[in-house]
Amino acid sequence: MSRATAHAHPNIALVKYWGKRDLALNLPAVPSLSLTLARFETETTVTWGTTEDRFLFNGEAADPTTAAKIAQFLSLVDPARPPCNVDTANNFPSAAGLASSSSGFAALALAAVAASGQEWSKEQLSVLARRGSGSACRSLWGGFVEWKLGKRADGADSCGTPIAPSQWDVRMVVGVVSSKKKPTPSSAGMESTRLTSPYFPAWVETAAADVELGRKAVLDRDLAALGEVMESSTLKMHATMWTGRPTLNYWLPGTLGCLDAVQALRKAGIGAWATMDAGPNVKVLCLPEDSERVAIALAPWVERTDILAPGGDATVEQH
């Protein structure tokens, strides 16, 4: 029996991933670019070689769907694996558009491979994390990370890659409009969007140019350019969701309240830009010195705000 514990931070996409070109391998239809956040974290311990599979999620037995997903994922690490225990917990709301699956599968990939006694490169771990949840391939690294489309049919080159040098001290102010579990998981949402939205082809066509703009903005330390492409990518993604059949809307009234507040801040000369994922919560990109003011502006619309700095790489230790 051997055991390893991993820690990983969630990442928030600045240029979004939405839509798969291969469902089984979780290969994306578009490239994307993200920021890994400090403080919010998944801690996952894997014990390799127990008497039966036992999976705990935030201290309770994982529901059957999650348990099946974890079991399948562990078999990617070793198809002849022994029974394992997995104990995973988040210090932030799960499944509410706060990217808990990104840190979740990054931590599980790291802990499972280490507990199994294997040594994989970070790229291989990123490819593995991607199989659990696409966005997880970006959470192996801290700071700004790009997820390249890749060309290979087996997906071995579709993984995260850090944008270097990516130490740029920005802030993401997370406004939790609702911490309830989202009604439509992102995989189901992105597939129905891909199949039915007339806007989906335009979304795919413009994504690579958005990533280019985003990468350049990071390298130039140009917050306005990054904020603009982030908002544009976000709104294009949600437009494809709304125009699918059946329509898919993750926003709540508080989401629009936050968007109005961010526009008012910009009119007042504060550099602040908003993004939303598969949930109602709003994350606002700004400079550290403006983050308190942004949090105050969001406060009427949200349950809570968190001001988060860029986070570091995912880590693992064997014990």
Applying CB under 6 A, among 134, 143, 257, 311 the residue interacting with ligand PMV is: 134
Nearer to ligand PMV, 48 or 141 (CB): 141
Is residue 93 a contact partner of residue 100, using CB atoms and an 8 Å limit?
A: yes
Pick the piece of the chain touching ligand PMV (CB under 6 A) from 9-17, 175-183, 197-205, 293-301.
Answer: 9-17
Helix extents (H) in the chain = 64-77, 100-115, 122-132, 186-196, 200-220, 223-242, 253-267, 291-298
- With binding defined as CB under 6 A, does residue 184 bind ligand PMV? no
- With binding defined as CB under 6 A, does residue 36 bind ligand PMV? no
Structure tokens at 137: 């391939």
The helix or strand, by DSSP H or E, that contains position 173, with its residue range, turns out to be strand 171-176
Structure tokens at 164: 């270097």
- With binding defined as CB under 6 A, does residue 16 bind ligand PMV? yes
Please give the angle made by the CA atoms of 170, 37 and 93, to the nearest 5 degrees. 130
The whole-angstrom separation of Cα 34 and Cα 129 is 15
Closest approach of Cβ 311 to ligand PMV, in Å?
15
- With binding defined as CB under 6 A, does residue 278 bind ligand PMV? yes
- With binding defined as CB under 6 A, does residue 187 bind ligand PMV? yes
The whole-angstrom separation of Cα 275 and Cα 172 is 10
- With binding defined as CB under 6 A, does residue 13 bind ligand PMV? yes
Total residues found in the chain within this entry = 319
Applying CB under 6 A, among 47, 85, 116, 135 the residue interacting with ligand PMV is: 135
- With binding defined as CB under 6 A, does residue 233 bind ligand PMV? no
Closest approach of Cβ 241 to ligand PMV, in Å?
9
Residues near ligand PMV (CB under 6 A) are 13, 16-18, 32, 99, 101, 133-135, 186-187, 277-278
